[in-house]
Each structure stands twice: as structure tokens, then as C-alpha cells.
């Protein structure tokens, strides 16, 4: 009898772990699709399978799910498949139910340096890539398959057709794009409509307080076609957490990245410090402010964070519970002073704006 009670209690604890509700997390639909994802999601770029030890990565994923994150993003190119394998190892422990999660991957970049067909969005490469991804993830399907860049050498119709086939075969639930232009999104949706294929439901662009180009045209075009956004680098690789306000810590990402170092200008650091003053007045962190600022836009489905420690996850998920007032948003806009604008000739013209509601 005692054994049976302990067994039931153990199973009950596992169930609670799998379905634990978050005090902070909110969820949004991915565009006009029926898919719902957490406002904050967990990415694996530059971390899992690479710079972060596997056991630490697993702890980050555990913490993420326990705090309401249901979307884990990856790509075959991340650590050359290593990130996908870490996710597979984590899910193999069966602490959490795979069906409760939204798992994504991506295809485009070359996985080797000898096969001329091992890159891009051709039918051949996508079919090979999805088999590799499913094998590394140890899954029968993935929820979202992102086209990691636009392929200028493959007819777009060929790409749309094979993605439609994969959805109908049950290997992919939805497909999306990553870092595509407004014109490319228009064309993809037009082709899908013309051949009655499944349309892309999501775009994954670079977007944060310092990089805002998608606000000009990409957001409106994607919204018109019912696409959502899962944005990457929402904290500008840590710059928007304030960790570089007093210099570059030894062993930090900027310490190893010349690209990131170039962004650490006096002007940018000064902006981050002023944003920190706003965050302090709201009793939140700069990172939470930066994430809440992204989530101010209804077009955004999720902000994909990176995490090298479970504490990073806990801090970032709280941004889902932060709502910024119009006054605060105005203060932020004044500090950033970088709202993207069209060249004068292309600026929208409005008449009688004062008479319109």
C-alpha cells in the first residue's frame, strides 16, 4: 500500500511539473493562425550545443517551461545540429510532455563545405534537412519550420510547394520565414494563394530597441497576410540588459565578438543608462523594460530570449506581466530617437488628419 501511495504521489508531482501555470506569462496567437505561444520564448542560438554546457541548457529549459514558456526555437545550423540534439536529450528525460510544447527549427545555411546542394531552399535540400532535423530532435514532426533566409537561386514556388507537402505529410505543422523583406513576404503569400498551398504564418526578424527597420514596411505587410512575429535578439545580445554600461566584462559575449563591440558606442551606452533610469522608476530591470517595449506591438507573437543561466529565464519571463503606459513609451521614444523614417519623397501623405478619428 505504501509503495502504491508513493508511486501515485510521484506521478502527480510529474503532472504538476508538466502543467505548472505561470504567475507572469501571457500567450498570443501566431498571426491569424490557431497556434498560441508564450510572449517570451527560449532560443538556442549561440548557446545550446555550443557555449553552454548541456546540463546547464537543460536547467534553463526546465526553468523556462516551469515559468510558462511553451515555445523553444532552434535551427539545424545552431552548433551544426548540436542545439537540436540538446533539446532532444532534454525531452527524452520525459519530465515534460512534448505535445505541450511548440518546437521550431530552420533551414537554409550550409551544413557542410562539399555538397553544392546542401544549402538553400530547394526541394532537395529542404527534404534532406527536415529528415536530419527530425532525427536529431527525435521527433515525428516540428511545429514551425522557418526558412532561415530568402533563397535567390531557387524558384520561390518550388519552396512553397515542398513546404505544403511537408505540412500535408504531417512532418511540419506550420511554416514561416526569417529575415525576409516585405516584397519577399508578398510574393510567398501570393504564390501560396495561387497554388492553394499553406501560407507562411510567421516571420522571425531581428528586432529590438536599437534595430527597428521592420516597423517601416515588413510589419504592415506581414499583418496584412495574417503573419505574426517571433523576434530574435530582443536584448541586442545583452546590450539592453545594461551589462556593458561600465565596460566589457571578461568572458562576456562582447569580449569574444568584434561585431558586438562595434555596437558599444558611447551614444548607445548613454541611451541604455537613461533607459535604466526609467526601468528603476518602474521597479523593473532594463531587460524587462526592453522586452515589454517589444511586446507593446500587437503584431508581435513572441520575443525569443537566450539564456545561459536559469536566473536569466526567471528575470526575463516577468516582462510578460509588464505593461508600459503611453507616458513611459513617449519617454523611451525620446531617449531612443531612432524611429525609422521613409526618405522624404516616399513619406506617407495625410490630409485633414486633425479631422479624422
Catalytic residues: 78
Residues 177, 188 contacting (CB under 8 angstroms) = yes
**Nearest 10 degrees: Cα torsion 152, 158, 160, 162:** -130
Rounded Cα–Cα distance for residues 327 and 65 (Å) = 33
Separation of alpha carbons 129 and 270, rounded Å: 44
Contact 201, 35 (CB under 8 A): yes
Question: What's the burial of 267, exposed, middle or buried (CB within 10 Å: 0-12/13-18/19+)?
Answer: exposed
Report the alpha-carbon distance of residue 218 to residue 250 in Å, rounded.
Answer: 37
Q: Are 164 and 201 in contact (CB under 8 A)?
A: no
Amino acid at each position: 500500500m505504501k509503495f502504491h501511495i508513493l508511486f501515485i504521489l510521484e506521478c502527480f508531482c510529474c503532472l504538476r511539473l508538466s502543467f505548472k501555470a505561470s504567475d507572469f506569462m501571457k500567450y498570443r496567437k501566431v498571426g491569424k493562425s490557431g497556434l498560441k505561444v508564450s510572449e517570451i520564448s527560449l532560443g538556442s542560438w549561440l548557446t545550446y550545443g555550443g557555449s553552454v554546457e548541456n546540463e546547464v541548457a537543460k536547467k534553463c529549459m526546465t526553468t523556462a517551461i516551469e515559468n510558462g514558456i511553451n515555445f523553444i526555437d532552434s535551427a539545424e545550423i545552431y552548433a551544426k545540429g548540436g542545439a537540436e540534439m540538446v533539446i532532444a536529450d532534454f525531452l527524452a528525460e520525459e519530465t515534460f510532455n512534448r505535445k505541450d510544447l511548440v518546437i521550431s527549427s530552420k533551414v537554409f545555411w550550409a551544413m557542410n563545405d562539399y555538397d553544392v546542394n546542401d544549402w538553400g531552399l530547394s526541394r532537395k535540400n529542404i527534404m534532406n534537412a527536415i529528415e536530419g532535423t527530425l532525427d536529431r530532435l527525435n521527433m515525428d514532426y516540428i511545429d514551425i519550420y522557418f526558412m532561415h533566409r530568402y533563397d535567390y537561386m531557387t524558384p520561390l514556388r518550388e519552396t512553397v510547394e515542398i513546404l505544403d507537402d511537408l505540412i500535408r505529410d504531417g512532418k511540419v505543422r506550420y511554416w514561416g520565414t526569417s529575415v525576409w523583406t516585405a516584397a519577399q513576404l508578398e510574393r510567398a503569400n501570393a504564390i501560396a494563394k495561387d497554388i492553394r498551398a499553406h501560407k507562411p504564418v510567421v516571420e522571425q526578424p531581428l528586432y529590438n530597441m536599437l534595430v527597428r527597420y521592420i516597423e517601416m514596411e515588413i510589419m504592415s505587410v506581414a499583418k496584412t497576410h495574417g503573419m505574426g512575429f517571433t523576434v530574435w535578439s530582443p536584448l541586442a545580445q545583452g546590450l539592453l540588459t545594461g551589462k556593458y554600461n561600465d565596460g566589457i566584462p571578461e568572458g562576456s559575449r562582447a569580449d569574444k565578438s568584434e561585431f558586438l563591440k562595434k555596437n558599444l558606442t558611447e551614444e548607445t551606452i548613454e541611451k541604455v543608462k537613461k533607459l535604466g533610469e526609467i526601468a528603476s522608476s518602474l521597479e523593473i530591470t532594463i531587460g524587462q523594460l526592453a522586452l515589454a517595449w517589444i511586446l507593446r506591438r500587437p503584431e508581435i507573437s513572441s520575443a525569443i530570449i537566450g539564456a545561459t543561466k536559469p536566473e536569466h529565464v526567471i528575470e526575463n519571463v516577468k516582462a510578460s506581466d509588464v505593461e508600459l503606459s503611453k507616458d513611459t513609451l513617449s519617454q523611451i521614444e525620446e531617449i531612443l530617437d531612432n524611429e525609422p523614417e521613409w526618405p522624404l519623397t516616399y513619406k506617407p501623405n495625410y490630409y485633414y488628419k486633425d479631422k479624422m478619428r
